[in-house]
A and B are shown apart, each in its own frame.
Chain A
């Protein structure tokens, strides 16, 4: 009996241990996958053209040869994104692995047709993490942006990604749009999404060659341009630098930025460097019509000064503060009015603010909100910016009188 039992136990243990040695069903060996860092989606011949940028693992080591490009581009066309992605395996020796994707660039033509369908795959597939950024290629193909050689980083995708993050935190007109932001704004009522624009400048054909980075001045460069306004999931237009800045202020996207202001004498400029900014949207209903008060407070320093008035004088300083406020007010008002009149897309989320404060009234307005936003909504901007410091010097260098 005990002999039988021992043999039985030994056998069970053997089977159990053997089952541990099998590994996983779904394993992906590192040498069988390609890590996709960036994806581009274009619309060519009534089909999606999917471009992926993957890193060449052999080029990631310290002693890499300069002969081969560290990033590889694959591109394939199909009626759907997933098909195109799988079709890429006909050109590549490894399977594309999407978990580490940093940025997705979408062609303007697709953004005009609507983003819901091309993005469905990225929301649905289990490999894709919801932490990538999105940008719209303006005036060029997404493929070109992925294919060109960037100067700072070895991998173009990382360069694009880092540049977007840096620019967002220190230059107000750029706003980085994460995929979760996009999902939130598409599903919410009373707020419309925006997307960052990206374009290529310079000689594109030369920019695709490794020669692009062989001299200090690159032949081609990418550039994040202002933001694109979306109505539902379609892009309807672009904002210029100043209007984009206004948007960033209202949506509390500004971590730090600089902007010039005309001196009170009307001739020269000075620069305010904003290091803290907070805007609040206060909705109210006046005579049955929506009214919004945008209250913005920011703290700033003087970063550059071309005016002649003496900054040491408190009166002059508060005059500077006053013109800075005026400048910001004009920026915000212009941005809001421009978007209202031209696009009727509530990218600032005023409707959302009404939704929160007046849910009943909002449910009556909800259907016609784009029209109400365009025609009836009154916006009042109140700025309480404060200037604090002047940097290492007080006034510009000049001869002492």
Chain B
């Protein structure tokens, strides 16, 4: 297919933006509500697990031998089983995340910035752009990522560097007040979203010449986004203290709102929303691409592009009805990590084992 080239640099930036995605705003609150002031340690746990999982993903990438991931499943599990698996996987994981992310974006906008705007307006605007960019192909997205990556980094610096003088490191003490348990418990959420979603990056494994290159770039992007999360979490918790962080919903946004230097350098919290918009745009375009790719393979279609509009429309409906109120959202997020682990941890391990067995049998 035409227009499918991605450089390693573009891919890394795209993946970093993907991982920043929805987690960036809610992460400190999620972590702090369970791990309290030890939230940053949870992130270390998350990154360790992520590196272990990348070994598994890298193993699968090695097994591909140039076959795209979505087709590899059919060679591995057989025509029918492979297609059935891919169908269920696509619908229950990337496609569902796509709808949830869309809803998340709208929830944020309607809670904090434009409370009277109907959510559907936000859905339509975002979906329109995402469908268009995925229609243009991954090269376009890669180039866009290359350009916007620096804007995001610049805005992050604008938002969080001014908070550094207000940091009070006492807020991070005592370390390990309640032991390892809450630290590990808190790490589940972040692990589930966005880190183990890296299985979706396998769809891009054939864009690099060697599987090792792919593995290196996923490690790079995970470490990069992980250290950004770490900085943001440490800054936000030490500026606001864990009590406030766990009370306030979008604490990364809230923290930037408190900046005020000499009544002049202040009120640029909207920069944070811009970061979030851009990151979500890349997140959704990846999810949209992966879902369309997966479904078009299942239904043996020549081009994934014809599926974009139907997927968008279904996502629109799901996003509008997926949770009726904020309480339901919080309940969902308590269960979500375990649900996501089925697809992000168990599935890849099974696929990898199956691949190993197949290899040894054919040898």
Q: Which of A131, A186, A359 contacts B174 (CB 8 A)?
A: A359
A129 cross-chain contacts in B, Cβ below 8 A: 257, 267
B117 cross-chain contacts in A, Cβ below 8 A: 24-26
Which residue of chain A lies nearest to B177 when distances are taken between CB atoms in the complex? Answer: A359
B118 touches A25 (CB 8 A): yes
Interface size class of A (residues with CB under 8 A): 20 to 34
A291 CB to nearest B CB, Å: 18
List residues of chain A with CB under 8 Å of any chain B CB. 24-26, 123, 126, 129-131, 180, 183-184, 186-188, 352, 355-357, 359, 363
Which residue of chain A lies nearest to B244 when distances are taken between CB atoms in the complex? Answer: A183
A359 cross-chain contacts in B, Cβ below 8 A: 174, 177
B260 CB to nearest A CB, Å: 5
The main secondary structure of chain A at its interface with chain B is helix
CB-based closest 10 A-B pairs: A187-B243, A25-B117, A356-B173, A359-B174, A26-B114, A359-B177, A184-B241, A26-B116, A183-B244, A126-B112
B239 CB to nearest A CB, Å: 9
| CA distance in complex: A357, B174 (Å) | 7
B240 at interface (Cβ–Cβ under 8 A)? Answer: yes
| CA distance in complex: A186, B254 (Å) | 17
| CA distance in complex: A188, B267 (Å) | 27
B327 at interface (Cβ–Cβ under 8 A)? Answer: no
Which residue of chain B lies nearest to A131 when distances are taken between CB atoms in the complex? Answer: B260
A359 CB to nearest B CB, Å: 4
Which residue of chain B lies nearest to A125 when distances are taken between CB atoms in the complex? Answer: B115
B258 at interface (Cβ–Cβ under 8 A)? Answer: yes
Known A-B contacts A25-B117, A126-B111, A126-B115; A180 and B258 likewise in contact (beta carbons under 8 Å): yes
Number of interface residues of B (CB under 8 A): 25
Using a CB-CB cutoff of 8 Å, which residues 266-291 of chain B contact chain A?
A: 266-267
B170 at interface (Cβ–Cβ under 8 A)? Answer: yes
Using a CB-CB cutoff of 8 Å, which residues 222-262 of chain B contact chain A?
A: 240-241, 243-244, 247-248, 254, 257-258, 260
B243 touches A131 (CB 8 A): no
Q: Which of B113, B240, B241, B266 contacts A126 (CB 8 A)?
A: B113
A357 cross-chain contacts in B, Cβ below 8 A: 174
Query: Known contacts A184-B244, A187-B244; can you find 9 more A-B pairs with CB under 8 A?
Result: A24-B117, A25-B116, A25-B117, A129-B267, A180-B258, A187-B247, A352-B170, A356-B174, A363-B177
B116 cross-chain contacts in A, Cβ below 8 A: 25-26
Which residue of chain A lies nearest to B266 when distances are taken between CB atoms in the complex? Answer: A131
B112 cross-chain contacts in A, Cβ below 8 A: 126
| CA distance in complex: A359, B266 (Å) | 37
A363 cross-chain contacts in B, Cβ below 8 A: 177
B244 touches A24 (CB 8 A): no
B1 cross-chain contacts in A, Cβ below 8 A: none
A352 cross-chain contacts in B, Cβ below 8 A: 170
**A-B residue pairs in contact (CB < 8 Å), sample of 27:** A25-B114, A25-B117, A25-B121, A26-B114, A123-B247, A126-B112, A126-B113, A126-B115, A129-B267, A130-B254, A130-B257, A131-B257, A131-B260, A131-B266, A180-B258, A183-B240, A183-B247, A184-B241, A186-B243, A187-B241, A187-B243, A187-B244, A355-B174, A356-B173, A356-B174, A357-B174, A359-B177
B262 CB to nearest A CB, Å: 10
A124 CB to nearest B CB, Å: 10
| CA distance in complex: A359, B260 (Å) | 33
Which residue of chain A lies nearest to B269 when distances are taken between CB atoms in the complex? Answer: A129
| CA distance in complex: A183, B243 (Å) | 8
| CA distance in complex: A377, B101 (Å) | 52
Known A-B contacts A183-B247, A184-B241; A131 and B258 likewise in contact (beta carbons under 8 Å): yes
| CA distance in complex: A130, B250 (Å) | 13
